[in-house]
């Protein structure tokens, strides 16, 4: 994720350690997680509890978080939906 000037914003290592449950919006490109909660804003995502996802970064000027399932399906989520999708961080 980049700041408005294009500089990469590092992930907070304390927040995204393996085994922790976090909002999917906290995952940076390359990070992986397992879906443990799908809130109302993320309900239309097509994801299911237990699905393994990897963060692919963002697009649309940073407005869309992009994830890929283990099956290879790309899922784009707006910020509220990415915040409402909870994942267990995987190593």
Sequential DSSP letters for 15-68: TS-TT-EEEGGGPPTT-EEEEEEE-GGGGGG---TT-EEEEEEEETTTTEEEEE
Helix (H, G, I), strand (E, B) or coil at 8: strand
**Cβ atoms of residues 33 and 27 within 8 Å:** yes
pLDDT of residue 16: 77
pLDDT at res. 3: 58
Could you tell me the mean pLDDT of each successive run of 10 residues in the chain, 91 residues long? Answer: 59 75 94 98 97 96 95 97 97 89
* pLDDT at position 9: 57
pLDDT at 85: 98
């Amino acid at each position: 994720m980049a700041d408005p000037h294009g500089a990469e914003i590092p992930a907070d290592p304390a927040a995204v350690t393996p085994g922790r449950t976090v909002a999917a919006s906290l995952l940076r490109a390359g990070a992986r997680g397992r879906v443990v909660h799908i809130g109302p804003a993320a309900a239309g995502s097509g994801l299911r509890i237990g699905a393994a996802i990897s963060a692919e970064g963002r697009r649309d000027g940073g407005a869309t978080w992009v994830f890929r399932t283990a099956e290879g399906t790309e899922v784009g989520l707006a910020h509220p939906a990415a915040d409402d999708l909870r994942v267990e961080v995987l190593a």
